[in-house]
Amino acid sequence: MLIPIVSAATLAVSLLSGCDEPAAPAAAIRPVRAVTVEPVDIGQALSQTGEIQPRYETDLGFRIGGQILARPVDVASVIGRGDLLARLDDQRARSQKQSAQAGLAAAEAELTRAQAEEARQSALLKDGFSTKQRNETAVRDLQTAEAQRDSAQAKLTLARENLGYTELHSEVDGIVIAVYAEAGQVVAAGQHVLRVAEPLEREAVFDVPEVAFRLVPHDPEVEVTLVADPAVKDALRRETEQAIAAGVCGSPFIVVDGEPFWGVDRLDQVERWLGTGGW
């Protein structure tokens, strides 16, 4: 019975020892602030005034020089493919065409004579009534006549093309948006006479300050509205009055949180301000 008594005494001593130790301190209560995470727009809206312009514009001119005899279209004229836009004085071009036709006729007549002479000399040489030298001369004359005929044909083709170039026709359906030459004016080859725009595709064109390109988002959202809209007119008037009240002058002039920045050399400061929220 000795072992149970010793075990009970040891247990009593252990319990008394545990009662003498100090209690552990309670954990400090820390305040927690809960915030609901929601997407917000941290960018700044940029409003600019621009123009609606056609994407494709073409300056047209004559391929040859001359005096403009007529220009039946004007600014805002609606034109179609193949319509006549302007016409040059074609008297000189017609004279060149007639001269080229006469030159071709003469060259063909000479070619006919040379062909007959070459055939005659070949027959005489075969029968022994002509010399080899005369036959070679006839062959060279035939070759020369053929070359002259080809040259005359090329000149006539060029003269016909130049006569066609005295008329300027539209290659697209569009609208005349600018005129650079009037009837009676002498223009050079390639000089712009008018500009034609294709109205099917249009673009909104406006100036953007340099700082906007530095801070532009990856996928910016651009909204285009017409100035004729009453709401847009009111916004434009309001923003103009605010700009005048803020002392805006010159370009670029940027106001961020009431802080003015004037000049291109201040764009770095604008970027730093937008990044830090102040100085």
pLDDT at 15: 44
Class of 53-201 in CATH:
mainly beta
pLDDT in the model for residue 237? 81
Contact 66, 186 (CB under 8 A): yes
pLDDT tens by residue, the chain, 279 residues: 444 444 444 444 444 444 455 666 666 777 767 767 676 555 566 777 788 888 899 999 999 999 999 999 999 999 999 999 999 999 999 999 999 999 999 999 999 999 999 999 999 988 888 888 999 999 999 999 999 999 999 999 999 999 999 999 999 999 999 999 999 999 999 999 999 999 888 888 888 777 666 666 667 777 777 777 777 778 778 877 877 777 777 667 777 777 777 776 777 787 777 777 776
pLDDT on residue 49: 78
Cis check for the bond before 252: say yes or no (omega within 30 of 0): yes
The pLDDT of residue 190 is 93
Start-end of CATH 2.40.50.100 domains in the chain: 53-201
Instruction: Report d(CA 62, CA 161) in Å as an integer.
Output: 12
